[in-house]
Amino acid sequence: MARVALVTGGTRGIGASISKALKASGYKVAANYGGNDAAGEKFKAETGIPVYKWDVSAFEACAEGVKKVEADLGPVEVLVNNAGITRDGAFHKMTIEQWSAVINTNLGSLFNMTRPVIEGMRARKFGRIINISSINGQKGQFGQVNYSAAKAGDIGFTKALALENAKAGVTVNAICPGYINTEMVQAVPKDVLEKSILPLIPVGRLGEPEEIARAVIFLAADDAGAITGSTLSINGGQYMV
């Protein structure tokens, strides 16, 4: 019977590629999104993947969302915590709203989404939790103290939760993408991309969302049970840990 996978932020960018790759690999997929109804409905129409709208920064919304997904598809066995936002600005000018929005969405959501599914995974002796962090959580980034702090927190969350659940058959891993060819990066002016970003990437190109998705498929597999607490960097050699 097909395993059920839930992807947050699963209708656009990297998340959309992850959702589609999971479906192509035989999973029953649920794609969460936060606010863009048009994009969500377009994704559903194009892929046939059911979409579910809720705010991942709100615990009760996540708990209710998971209940709905499990009622429709069955117990969540693979959780991909992909949803994230940016509210960039130099720290000495950053507002508490900018800080809280990013911390609550990019880090708080890992608790909000994982807590409702972890007990079921432990009881079934199988689970795959894959957290999409960032190169900037590893090395830091000017103007992104909030984002870098949250993404670094994702890595700490991953390691500790992996230790707690290893004997229960639940693996927890993180993926740290670098610059990926998504709408957000495509919006960067071409001259900035070519002169300031690409020269920093040894492979000389942006990563593709599908490359992140393939890593998710690898970590989600039944036979990846010995891989837990790991951080997989996919950044073209830009930052090596």
The residues annotated with a catalytic role in the active site are: 147
Q: Which residues pair with 4 in a beta bridge?
A: 28, 76
Beta bridge mates, 172:
129
Helix (H) or strand (E) holding 232: strand 231-234
Taking a C-beta distance cutoff of 8 angstroms, is the pair 3, 224 a contact? no
Provide the Cα torsion 7, 230, 135, 38; round to 10°. 0
Alpha helices in the chain (DSSP H): 13-24, 37-47, 59-73, 96-103, 109-124, 135-139, 145-165, 183-186, 190-192, 209-220
Coil/strand/helix, residue 68: helix
Residue 134: which of 118, 123, 119, 149 has the closest Cα? 149
